[in-house]
Amino acid sequence: MRLVSVVGTRPQLIKAAALQPLLRREHEEIFVDTGQHYDDAMAGDFFVELGLEPPDHSLGVGGGGHGDQTGRMLMALEPLLTASAPDAVVVYGDTNSTLAGALAAAKLGIPVAHIEAGLRSFDSHMPEEINRVVADHLSTWLFAPTPTAVANLAAEGISHGVHEVGDLMQDLAARISVEVRRPSALAAIASRLDLPIVTGGYLYATVHRAENRSPEALAAWTALFEAVATTGRPIVLALHPGTRVALEAARVELPAGVIAIEPQGYRTSLALQLHAAAVLTDSGGIQRESAWLGVPCLVLRDRTEWVETVGGPGSSAVLVGLDTALALRELRSRAPEARSAAQATDRAESLHLAGSGAAERISSTLRSATQHSGSPA
């Protein structure tokens, strides 16, 4: 099969890194980077670190509003797809790049393969929710990571072409986790970034979603961070460029207990999660990674599309929104400061993460489709 794969953000590069070796072994892949994450801190270094081939086409779309950004992607993708005449277009996740890739392909009558199909937060105010719903309804092959995702698609009347395959991000996390388990991995990061941290002696945080960039939300989560950070357990915040701009525009300062660092590469991010006492995030990707690593995770959202990771006391993650009292209560329960060093050490030493096999299932399904004259397997 001749495939055009469309990516544009860090999470999509992670998924592509897990799938690309198999796609290129069994298919002809044309790799397109829209440039949605357009600086080295957010995406550029990932190509080298994850062993991704350089993109065959870099669209350089950059930032902008949702309509403007998606429109410029569509304008760039349509002639590219027309010229390359692929058998299918592969899109990942729920970003504007996903939406543009699916729309451009569908308008040209090219089948779409959507990886991470069927996820639903049931919050139509989230741009990501709109993107994933539209992509699913345009797709020929819907590669769902979980049984819940399959059920969501069935509830919307989509059953043909649906395949439960597992999670590509778990495949890559399993491969890399072996490299970051040792305390020396964290020590090297602490030295390189000049961070005063040891295993279990810090909290790791990321905040990037649009709903957490309003002035009210910025004030709420920085107050939450101020309450949960302590002298002996600071917060290491990998600060998204967009969130940094929003903080500056709203004139909201990070509390003294928060150490802001630039967005990190994949291995560093995984290591900082694994060796932390707990994680605070609004990221779906980090929510899942922390679950696979067994790290307590406080999700800074009121709802999530990754429902399997949240639940009662035995679950890895809990939804706390921007509720400071709830966050403090959950941290005391899940990662008490007096025991967090021992908990994190035991967790790292005992980690044996297996892959999900998603890459093999996706590639095999597409190969089977070729054998059946391009119809959904």
User: Residues 27, 208, 240, 275: which is the catalytic one?
Assistant: 208
The whole-angstrom separation of Cα 49 and Cα 239 is 20
Structure tokens at 370: 């070729």
The whole-angstrom separation of Cα 127 and Cα 160 is 26
207, amino acid identity: V
β-pairing, 258-261 vs 235-239, is parallel
- Partnered with residue 206 across adjacent β-strands are 238, 281
Within a 13 Å sphere around the CA of 80, how many CA atoms are in the beta-carbon half? 24
Quickly tell me which residue has 């349509």 as its tokens. 78
Cα–Cα separations (whole angstroms), residue 167 to 4, 64, 117, 171: 20, 30, 11, 7
Structure tokens at 153: 């698609």
The whole-angstrom separation of Cα 7 and Cα 120 is 20
Angle value at C-alpha 38, between 283 and 145, nearest 5 degrees: 35
The whole-angstrom separation of Cα 39 and Cα 62 is 9
The whole-angstrom separation of Cα 266 and Cα 122 is 29
CB 228 within 8 A of CB 203: yes
* 208 labelled catalytic: yes
Cα–Cα separations (whole angstroms), residue 147 to 134, 162, 164: 20, 11, 7
Residues noted as catalytic: 208
